[in-house]
Amino acid sequence: MRLVSMSPALREAAGMGTLGADKTQASRVTDQQKQENKKVAKGWKASNLNKTVDSILASATRLEKEIDAETKYWEQVLAVSESGWAVCRMPQEKHTLGVRFGFAEAAPAFRNRSLAALRRNPDGSIYLDQGITSKEPQYLRVRIETHGITTGETILPKAVPEDAPIQDLIFQARNTIFAAELWQELHRESRNLASYGVESHSTNDTITCPLSPTKYIILDLQPLPNDPFRPVLGKRPDSYLATAVHLMLHLLLSLAHRQNHRKRTAPPPPISHTQRPNQAYHLLRSVITRLSHESSISSLHSLLAPLCNTLASSSHPHPLSYTITPSSTPQFPHLPTPERILTSLVDRLESVTVLHFPIPIPASEEPHTQTTLTIQSLTSLLPFSKPTFRLALTPPTSPLAGICPPPQLLGEWSQVKEYVFWAVGCWLGVRFADEGGEEGWRLTTQGNVLRRGMGDGVKQVSFEVGEVREVGEKEGGVGIKIAVRWEWMKGVDGEVGNGNGKGGLGIGEGVREWVVGEGKGPGETNANGVGKGFEMIRQVLEEAGKVG
C-alpha cells in the first residue's frame, strides 16, 4: 500500500521544492532524562539476564531431578526384567511399558487380564496399573469340616502393602489371577461331579466335596487380609489335609497349563467340521481319585491290623500277618518328567496287600509254606475315580483255594471286607482241623465249621469273624471280633443246638469272643461283655470237646 502526502493537483500547482519542514516545539527530554533512561534500560537488561540465569538454573535442577527419577524408574524396570518377568509395550499405549504376570496357556479371559502397566510416580518409583481389573488380592481357601466343625484350614497369607517392592506386587497379582482361574475351573468341573456329591452353593459362593458321610472339603475364594494383628488359629488335626488339597489343586492347574502348551505346539489334527469340545480340567476328580485310593489303603490297614491283633491277643501260635506295598510308579514314557511325576500321583494308582495264612500246603516240600491272599487295589482317574480290587489265593494247592476261592474282581470295599472275614474264618477251621488228628475236629463242606463225633452225638464248632459296634466311651466305633461257638447237633445233618441259635445255650455248649478296636488293647473289657479273657482258641476247643 502506497501513502500519498498530497494530491496530484496540489503538486502541479505548487511545483518542485516549494515545501519545507521546521520544528514547531522543542523536545522536552533533557540530557539528564536521557541518562536515566539509559540506566533504566541497563537495569531491565540486568534483571532479564538474572531471570534467564535463574530459569536456566531451575531447568538444570528440574532436569537433574528428572534424570534421577528416570534412572530410578529404569533401574526398577531392569530389576523386574532380571527377576524373570516379561516386560513389553502396552498394546494400546505404545510409549508405556507393561509387565505380563499371567500364564500364556491360561484361559483367554485370564490371559488378557494378566498384563499391567508399569507407570512412574513423580519420585521415580513404579506402581502397577492393572486398569479395570480388581486390585483386591484373593486366595483359594480350603477347609475340612467334620460333623459341621472346622477341623482343618489353610492359613490366608497377609496382603502385600502398596509400598512394597514392585516384584512383590507383581507376584501377588500373579497369585491372584491364578487363584481366580483356579476358582472358575473348579466351578466348571463341579457341574460334572454331582454323582460324587460335589456341590456348588451360590448363596455363600462355596464348593463342597464329601470325603465321607461326616467329613467334607469346603472351597471358597477369599480376599487377603490387611490386618497385621490377625488372630492365630490353634493347631487342627486336619490342617495337613487342607494344605495338601490346596497344594494339589495348584499343581494340577499348572499341569493343565503344560498340557495346553503341549497340545498347542504339537502338529494339528486333521481338519474336521466337528468342533473340538473345551472340556473342564480334571482338578477335583484328581483329588477324589487320590483320596479314594488313600482311603482304600487306610481301610485295609484298619481291617487287617485289628484282625491280626485279635488273633495275636488269643495267643494263637500262628497269627496272621500282612504287608501293604505301593506298586511301582506307572510309566508314561511320552510325557516330560514334571508331567510324568504329577500324573503318576493321580492316575493309575495301585497298591498290593498280601495277607499271609500260615497253613501247611499239601505236596509242598517246605513245612512252613504260607497261603497268601493278594489284594490288588487299582484306582484310575477315568471313568469312575474309585478303587477296584483284584483278589488271588496262592498257591493253587492251598486248602483255602478249594474251600473259599476268591472272586477275581470286586468293585466295593464292603465286598472285599466280607470276603476277608470269610477267608479268615475258613483259615481258622483248616488250621485247627489239621491239629486234631483223626479223632479231632474234622472239616465240613462249610469251611469255617468243624464237627466231631462224641459218644452218641455230634458237636460242631464254628469260627465267625466280623465287625462289632463298640459302646461306652468309644460308642460308634468299629472293632474286629472273632467268635468261637460250639453246639450239639441232633445229627450230622440235623439242626444245631438246643435253641438253634435263637435262645440260650445248652449244657456243653458255649461261645467265646475276642475284640480289638480303636484305642482298645487285648484283654480289655467292653461294656457289653465282648472281649473278656481272651482265652486261647486251643483251650476253647478243648473245652468244647468235653461231653458236658
Q: How many C-beta neighbours within 10 Å does residue 78 have?
A: 11
**Does 19 fall in a domain?**
no
Task: Count CA within 13 A, CB hemisphere, residue 308.
Answer: 16
Q: Is residue 492 part of a domain?
A: yes
Q: Tell me, yes or no, whether 417 and 506 share the same domain.
A: yes
Least confident of 102-111, 125-134, 167-176, 323-332: 323-332
- 62 in a structural domain: no
Q: What is the pLDDT of residue 15?
A: 65
Q: Is residue 268 part of a domain?
A: no
Does residue 103 sit in the same domain as residue 139? yes
pLDDT for 521? 42
pLDDT at 20 exceeding the cut of 90:
no
Cα–Cα distance between 306 and 315 in angstroms, integer?
Answer: 14
Q: Give the model's confidence band at 370: pLDDT under 50 very low, under 70 low, under 90 confident, else very high.
A: confident
pLDDT at 464: 86
Same domain, 175 and 316: no
Look-up of cell digits 489335609: 241
Q: What is the mean pLDDT of residues 413-436?
A: 84
165 and 298 belong to one structural domain? no
Residue 220, domain extent: 88-226+235-259
Are residues 364 and 252 part of one domain? Answer: no
Provide the β-strand partners of residue 321: 356
Say if residue 198 is in the same domain as residue 345.
Answer: no
| Rounded-to-integer distance, Cα 307 and Cα 285, Å | 33
pLDDT tens track for 477-522: 567 888 888 887 754 454 554 444 444 566 667 788 777 765 444 4
Regarding whether 393 and 354 lie in a shared domain, the answer is yes
Q: How many domains does the chain have?
A: 2
Residue 97 in contact with residue 88, Cβ under 8 Å? Answer: yes
Residues 289 and 221 in one domain: no
Q: Rounded to whole angstroms, how far apart are CA atoms 372 and 273?
A: 56
- pLDDT single digits (tens) 190-246: 998 988 899 999 888 899 999 988 899 999 999 988 775 555 555 688 889 999 999
In a domain, 409, yes or no: yes
Residues 289 and 429 in one domain: yes
For the full predicted model, state whether its pTM sits above 0.85.
no
Residue 68 lies in a domain: no
Question: What pLDDT is stored for residue 526 in this prediction?
Answer: 40
Dig out the grid coordinates for 262 from the structure: 503341549
Residue 47 placed within a domain: no
Residues 397, 321 share a domain: yes
* 287 pLDDT above the threshold of 80: yes
Do 364 and 485 have their domain in common?
yes
**Quick one: 449 and 510 in the same domain?**
yes
CA–CA distance, 531 with 129 (Å, rounded to integer): 71
Q: Which of 159-163, 166-170, 436-440 has the lowest mean pLDDT?
A: 436-440
Residue 462 domain flag? yes
Q: What is the arithmetic mean of pLDDT over 114-119?
A: 88
SS3 353: strand
